[in-house]
Amino acid sequence: MKKLCTWLILFLILFAFPVWATITATYEPNPYFHFEKGFSPLNTNRLVAHVGTLTFNTGGEDFFDPNIIHVNLSTQFGFTGPMVWPNSGPEIRESFFTLYAVSTIKNKTQVTPIWEGDGSSPIRTDGGNLNVNVLVVQLYLVSDQPWSVYVLNAAYALTTGTLGNFSVAVANKGGGYYPGGGGFDISLNGTPPGTSAPILPPRTSPTNPIIVYGDPPEQANYDFLITNKQAITLADAVGNRKAKVAEAQITITNGQANKDYGINVIFTNQANTNPFRLIMQNVNNPPTIPYSLFFNNQLVIPGGDNEWTGLKNGITKSLDIQVTGVSTNDAAMALAGSYQDVIIVNISPLDT
């Protein structure tokens, strides 16, 4: 089955990424969100849904008690849809699910519920330094009821709880993580420590997603790349002038021959500023220079939607990413040196 590309972090040559901490994490939501019969090491008598994959990279540092922080994430989830009980017909009812983290260290697999009431939940119960370079954690919803009472190919809507945002943290020693003093936040998907990420794919509602029990449909694969990255001169981006810093490239595969496809592209920067701001490097109290990005024949609003349509299966298309809107005064008064920013690009298919 093809894998759907849902997000990408863009590092332009013009821009640089600061090191927040050696231990970092990345998260990729599962775009093929569906219920299926449970499988080992989960309860094989329950209904489950793979939510996403969380990966910790320790850089060889000590690694104590990784935790999921429930920024906007419930600990119990109710889904409403048809259910069939023994000796009775189908009826529309709500049933409840729990989020579990599944991970393996040195052949020891743990299935840990994410249900602590204080806003953070440990991913594993090991004590001391986990002593791994990489820890891969799979997140699953698991039903309280057996899979046999659910109706194959039926849809179930979230009616209790929120599948919203979460962040990640680790303990600073063997005593375990606890909010407010027993550890520290770490970077998730290249953002500053403590920044949260949505647990569901982009453009999926955290409060009322609808999930089907059955095989997911075959979906098109969106291969998104950033190519031809290059530095620019400020003078080339003054006013309405535009300086190319990179190209966005998209290829649709596994799609239908006669169908038009499209993606939504969202640009933000690490500091979440509007407008974007270049920051002078290697100085104390660095000056900044506001600028804009220009993409697909329009100015980019930080955090706003930029639709890229007319995409065809098997055909690669590219669009320039340009810097513009630097004021003449800022360019003339800028101190000599290197100015940088971090741009984050999120993409999602328009039909999701």
Report pLDDT digits (tens) over 248-283: 999 998 887 888 889 999 999 988 899 999 999 999
207 and 236 housed in the same domain: no
The answer to whether the bond into 18 is cis (omega within 30° of 0) is no
273 and 158 housed in the same domain: no
Please state, rounded to an integer, the average pLDDT across all residues of the chain. Answer: 89
The angle subtended at Cα 308 by Cα 306 and Cα 310, nearest 5°, is: 155
Question: Does 11 reside within a domain?
Answer: no
Give the pLDDT of residue 246: 94
Task: Give the pTM.
Answer: 0.63
Q: Of the candidates 193, 212, 231, which is a domain's last residue? A: 212
117 and 266 housed in the same domain: no
Q: Between the CA of residue 67 and those of 120, 188, 321, what are the distances in Å?
A: 6, 12, 37
Question: Does 311 reside within a domain?
Answer: yes
Task: Report d(CA 114, CA 95) in Å as an integer.
Answer: 18
Tokens of 18: 């600061």
Question: Does 14 reside within a domain?
Answer: no
Number of structural domains (the chain) is 2
Q: Mean pLDDT per segment of 10 residues, for the chain of length 352 residues?
A: 40 37 88 91 97 94 94 95 87 96 94 93 92 95 97 95 96 80 88 93 84 81 91 93 95 85 92 92 92 96 94 94 95 90 89 57
85 and 176 housed in the same domain: yes
Task: Report d(CA 287, CA 300) in Å as an integer.
Answer: 23
Q: Of the candidates 155, 189, 212, which is a domain's last residue? A: 212
177 and 311 housed in the same domain: no
Question: Does 262 reside within a domain?
Answer: yes
Give the pLDDT of residue 6: 38
Question: Does 84 reside within a domain?
Answer: yes
Q: Of the candidates 173, 188, 212, which is a domain's last residue? A: 212
104 and 243 housed in the same domain: no
150 and 183 housed in the same domain: yes
25 and 133 housed in the same domain: yes
Give the pLDDT of residue 17: 33
Task: Report d(CA 112, CA 134) in Å as an integer.
Answer: 18
Backbone angles phi, psi at 263, to 5 degrees: -130, 155
133 and 249 housed in the same domain: no
Q: pLDDT for 131-153, tens place per residue?
A: 999 999 999 999 999 999 999 99
Give the pLDDT of residue 11: 41
66 and 176 housed in the same domain: yes
325 and 266 housed in the same domain: yes
The neighbour count for residue 310, using CB atoms within 10 Å, is 10
Q: pLDDT for 80-90, tens place per residue?
A: 999 998 877 78
Q: Write b or e for each residue in 126-157: b if 16 or more Cβ atoms lie within 10 A of its Cβ, otherwise e.
A: beeebebeebebbbbbbbebebebbeeebebe
Report yes or no: 246 and 230 within 8 Å, Cβ to Cβ: yes
Question: Does 4 reside within a domain?
Answer: no
70 and 189 housed in the same domain: yes
Q: What is the domain-level CATH number for residue 236?
A: 2.60.40.1090
Task: Report d(CA 318, CA 259) in Å as an integer.
Answer: 19
Backbone angles phi, psi at 156, to 5 degrees: -130, 125
What is the Cα gyration radius of the chain?
A: 23
Question: Does 194 reside within a domain?
Answer: yes
The neighbour count for residue 66, using CB atoms within 10 Å, is 26
Q: What is the DSSP letter of 20?
A: -
Task: Give one word for 175, left, alpha or beta, with left for phi > 0 and alpha for psi -120 to 50.
Answer: alpha
Question: Does 12 reside within a domain?
Answer: no
Task: Report d(CA 173, CA 134) in Å as an integer.
Answer: 18
- Give the range of the structural domain holding residue 231, as residue numbers without chain letter: 221-349
Residue of 284, 294, 291, 293 whose CA lies nearest to 335 = 284
Backbone angles phi, psi at 182, to 5 degrees: -100, 25
Helix (H, G, I), strand (E, B) or coil at 138: strand
